[in-house]
């Protein structure tokens, strides 16, 4: 089983992203503008509707807002798939040269959409199972403490297993799907064998710094009081929790324009770093061209 070259992967991710930043922007700006503008209006409606529905005890209105958000999430994922395919092709060397504007919606984009949707479905299923186990452990603990402890331990072990599987599935999913022209969940799992800690190291080195910048910017926009309240304002009173949630959503709505502007500015860096690192690792594991060639040729 081949191993991901961690240092070369990290080096390529940064060299590709900052060496081809103009091309990345050209490839993603149009679908990103649609995502940001439409997403802002959907979220503004959601953040306005849900607090009012909670205050009025109107579950139907809250449910309608939730359905709208779910529908938009699917559209947003499809738009993101356009960007994923474009940047991954550039990083794999399947596309060459600069880009001014790009928008395509064909089989490749739908394959990536299906692959990512499948990944989220798997993650959601196992997380729901784990949540049910945690709730069962709470109930059992009050009646049979030993049984509750056993179920809780199993839930923790399952959560660790799910985290392990999702790391392995996610890292190579997009390059495998793009390069091999089929939904690459199985292929991503196969290639990532015995590479969990290498993938983790690459993820921390590549996305850690840019995530820190993004979080710092979010704190600056929303104010540290918001995050401190989320960390310390936990209560077991359900009614109070709903009131707190509504108040937090009303406060967050004021910052949506700045937050969406931030996401637009950060998108080229996040996509360039994440997708090029995965593309380089895929090439190294499959010997799809010299593993280090992209460091010099700007693939």
Question: Which residues lie below 8 Å from residue 292, measured CB to CB, with a gap of 6+?
Answer: 8
In a domain, 162, yes or no: no
Structure confidence by residue, pLDDT tens digits, 70-118: 999 999 999 999 999 999 999 999 999 999 999 999 999 999 999 999 9
In a domain, 139, yes or no: no
Q: What is the mean pLDDT of the chain?
A: 90
Structure confidence by residue, pLDDT tens digits, 125-159: 999 999 999 999 999 988 899 999 999 999 999 99
pLDDT at 244 over 90: no
Q: Three-class SS of residue 234? A: coil
Structure token digits, residue 299: 């693939």
What does the pLDDT read at residue 18?
Answer: 98
Distance CA 243, CA 231 (A): 16
- Indicate the pTM of the whole model: 0.90
Q: What mean pLDDT do residues 219-242 have?
A: 68
Say what percent of the chain tops pLDDT 70: 91
Half-sphere exposure of 207 (CA within 13 A, CB side): 16
pLDDT at 296 over 50: no
The alpha carbon dihedral of 284, 290, 293, 294 has a sign of: negative
In a domain, 127, yes or no: no
Distance CA 113, CA 79 (A): 9
162 in Cβ contact with 127 (< 8 Å): yes
pLDDT at 62 over 90: no
What does the pLDDT read at residue 235?
Answer: 54
Q: Which domain holds residue 226?
A: 6-118+203-297
Task: Tell me the pLDDT band of 234, cut-offs 50, 70 and 90.
Answer: low
Task: Tell me the pLDDT band of 53, cut-offs 50, 70 and 90.
Answer: confident
In a domain, 228, yes or no: yes
Tell me whether residue 189 is exposed, middle or buried, using C-beta atoms within 10 angstroms of its C-beta: 0 to 12, 13 to 18, 19 or more.
middle
Structure confidence by residue, pLDDT tens digits, 260-289: 999 999 999 999 999 999 999 999 999 854
What does the pLDDT read at residue 51?
Answer: 84
Residue of 148 and 52 predicted with greater confidence: 148
In a domain, 107, yes or no: yes
Q: Around Cβ 152, how many Cβ atoms within 10 Å?
A: 17
Residue of 191 and 297 predicted with greater confidence: 191
Total structural domains within the chain: 1
In a domain, 74, yes or no: yes
1 in Cβ contact with 194 (< 8 Å): yes
In a domain, 152, yes or no: no
Structure confidence by residue, pLDDT tens digits, 281-295: 999 999 854 444 444
Closest CA to 178 of 119, 117, 107: 107
pLDDT at 225 over 50: yes
In a domain, 275, yes or no: yes
């Amino acid at each position: 089983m081949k191993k991901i070259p961690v240092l070369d992967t990290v080096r390529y991710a940064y060299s590709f992203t900052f060496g081809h930043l103009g091309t990345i922007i050209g490839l993603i700006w149009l679908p990103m503008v649609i995502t940001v503008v439409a997403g802002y209006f959907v979220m503004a409606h959601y953040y306005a509707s849900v607090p009012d529905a909670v205050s009025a005890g109107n579950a139907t209105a809250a449910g309608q807002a939730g359905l709208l958000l779910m529908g938009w999430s699917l559209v947003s994922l499809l738009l993101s798939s356009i960007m994923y395919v474009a940047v991954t092709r550039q990083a794999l060397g399947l596309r060459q040269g600069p880009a001014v504007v790009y928008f395509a919606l064909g089989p490749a984009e739908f394959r990536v959409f299906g692959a990512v949707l499948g990944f989220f479905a798997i993650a959601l299923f196992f997380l729901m199972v784990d949540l049910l186990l945690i709730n069962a452990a709470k109930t059992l603990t009050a009646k049979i403490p030993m049984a509750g402890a056993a179920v809780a331990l199993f839930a923790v072990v399952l959560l660790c297993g799910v985290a392990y599987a999702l790391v392995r599935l996610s890292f190579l999913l997009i390059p495998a799907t793009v390069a091999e022209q089929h939904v690459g969940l199985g292929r991503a799992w196969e290639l990532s064998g015995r590479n969990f800690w290498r993938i983790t190291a690459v993820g921390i080195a590549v996305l850690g710094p840019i995530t820190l910048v993004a979080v710092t910017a979010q704190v600056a926009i929303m104010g540290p009081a918001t995050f401190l309240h989320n960390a310390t304002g936990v209560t077991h009173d359900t009614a109070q929790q709903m009131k707190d949630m509504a108040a937090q959503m009303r406060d967050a709505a004021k910052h949506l324009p700045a937050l969406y502007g931030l996401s637009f500015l950060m998108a080229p860096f996040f996509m360039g770093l994440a997708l090029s690192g995965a593309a380089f690792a895929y090439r190294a594991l499959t010997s799809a061209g010299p593993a280090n060639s992209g460091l010099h040729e700007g693939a």
